[in-house]
Copies of this chain bind each other. A is one copy, B any other.
Amino acid sequence: MTGQSAARRGSRAGRRSGDSGTREAILDAARAQFAQRGYHGATIRAIAAAAEVDPALVHHFYGTKEALFAAAMRLPIVPSEVLTAALARDAWDTGSAGAGGAGAGPGFGAHLVRTALGLWESAELRETFIGLLRSAVTSEQAAVMLREFIADSILSTVARAAGLTERGTSAEAEFRAAMVATQMLGLAFTRLVLALPPVAGASVDDLAVTVGPSIERYLTGEIQLPGRRSGERGRGGEPGRGGGRGGG
């Protein structure tokens, strides 16, 4: 199910459809359910029940749970849709990639950073992101919601686009995508919230070529996967130290 984020007015799928009060009631119910039950736990069915509408109407207005979450949080985009399009191979592979068929190759990391930085230019998205961070550091429940949303909606999309899901175990894909999250969330925090001058003032290109290789290494490089000890590293590489110092 790729969501149809744009809610459609007009067709009377339900009792109160077309009424903006109904949409507001659905979004209010969604915010409450996501906060109480987390992103995983909240269901369209329970949200519909709380808003006193038919679940079909919620689907009709918002498409997927992710799109409903985005609308409820006032995210101007549905992350998995935007990322799936932006990270599709023809969007970043300029022909230099030779490494391994589908998924991440040289240039993928820089492209991912460029994509993220481009999205963050939107003041609306930035505000929402900072609002979600604020909730997460203030409330444990909000942290759970944000964690589940990031894992489900963003990291699994990145893992899929990078071809991780085809190449390794799901635990490996999750670890690699989570390592990408450690870099990208820190980049967001440092640039958008902290506004540390060298990062806030750097160009998109500077950051893309600087951070991109770290992202690629996390996605496809020789890193130590949890649970393996030295000597049995992922993809049989060297010990991690020094592994990022190579180059061309």
Find chain B residues with CB under 8 A from A174 CB: 197-198
Q: Which of A192-248 contact B (CB under 8 A)?
A: 193-199, 201-203, 206, 208-214, 216-218, 220-226, 237-248
Out of B137, B187, B193, B237, name the residue touching A247 (CB < 8 Å). B237
Rounded to whole Å, the gap between the CB of A199 and the closest CB of chain B is 5
Q: Which of A147-189 contact B (CB under 8 A)?
A: 147, 150-151, 171, 174-175, 177-179, 181-189
How distant is the Cα of A147 from the Cα of B174 in the complex, in angstroms? 31
Out of B195, B216, B224, name the residue touching A245 (CB < 8 Å). B216
What number of copies of this chain does the assembly contain?
2
**Given the interface contacts A143-B194, A182-B187, A186-B181, does A248 sit within 8 Å of B243 by beta carbon?**
yes
A226 and B201: CB pair below 8 A? yes
Question: Mask for A112-136, Cβ within 8 A of B = 1, else 0?
Answer: 0000000000000000001001101
A107 at the interface (CB under 8 A from B): yes
Rounded to whole Å, the gap between the CB of A77 and the closest CB of chain B is 20
B221 and A247: CB pair below 8 A? yes
Out of B190, B199, B201, B213, name the residue touching A244 (CB < 8 Å). B213
B107 and A241: CB pair below 8 A? yes
Out of B177, B212, B220, B245, name the residue touching A240 (CB < 8 Å). B212
From A137, A191, A212, name the one whose CB has the most chain B CB atoms within 10 angstroms: A137
A106 at the interface (CB under 8 A from B): yes
Find chain B residues with CB under 8 A from A201 CB: 226
B217 and A245: CB pair below 8 A? yes
A57 at the interface (CB under 8 A from B): no
Out of B106, B134, B225, name the residue touching A134 (CB < 8 Å). B134
How distant is the Cα of A186 from the Cα of B180 in the complex, in angstroms? 10
A146 at the interface (CB under 8 A from B): yes
Find chain B residues with CB under 8 A from A184 CB: 186
How distant is the Cα of A238 from the Cα of B187 in the complex, in angstroms? 23
How distant is the Cα of A133 from the Cα of B214 in the complex, in angstroms? 24
**Given the interface contacts A136-B193, A194-B136, does A182 sit within 8 Å of B186 by beta carbon?**
yes
A residues apposed to B, CB below 8 Å? 106-107, 109-110, 130, 133-134, 136-138, 143, 146-147, 150-151, 171, 174-175, 177-179, 181-191, 193-199, 201-203, 206, 208-214, 216-218, 220-226, 237-248
Please give me the 3 A-B residue pairs with the lowest Cβ-Cβ distance, nearest first: A246-B246, A186-B186, A213-B244
